[in-house]
Amino acid sequence: MADEGARARGREWFQKVMGFAAPSLEGDPFFDATLEHLFADVWSRPALGVKERRIATLVVLMCLGHEPTLKLHLGAALRTGQLTDPELDELVLHVAHYAGWPVAAVASQVVRAVRAERAKAGA
């Protein structure tokens, strides 16, 4: 049974983190767990701010090569104002030195694609 309080907190944090309302996927066990745990419990912890968690998330996604989720979080970082274009460039350069040039090259391509999509959409 779903925890309605956790789901409501998760929706609130999803909006704050992603910059758009959580989709209505009620009854999807994976999405319910994502809202009720990842957003309600993890992103809301006070020791790190949203920007710090965003940077950690982006670095992990870059290093693992999870391009679709990286694209989602890059867009969210820019949409919410958590990170700027120069900060993203610096993050990719930093990753290049610690995780390798090929990893950062892919991340750089994804950053450019997100920028192009945002420019096309007028963002």
Averages of pLDDT over each 10 residues, the chain, 123 residues = 82 96 88 94 97 98 98 98 98 98 98 97 87
- With a threshold of 0.95, does the pTM exceed it? no
Please tell me the predicted confidence (pLDDT) of residue 123.
77
| 104/93 Cα distance (integer angstroms) | 7
Q: What pLDDT does residue 90 have?
A: 98
Model pLDDT, residue 26: 75
Q: Which domains does the chain have, with CATH numbers?
A: 4-42 (no CATH), 50-120 (1.20.1290.10)
The one-letter amino acid code at 22 reads A
- How much is the pLDDT for 3? 77
Q: Which two tokens stand for residue 58?
A: 């982006």
Closest residue by Cα to residue 75 from 109, 42, 117, 38: 117
| CA 78, 42, 15, 109 torsion-angle sign | positive
Determine the pLDDT at residue 2: 60
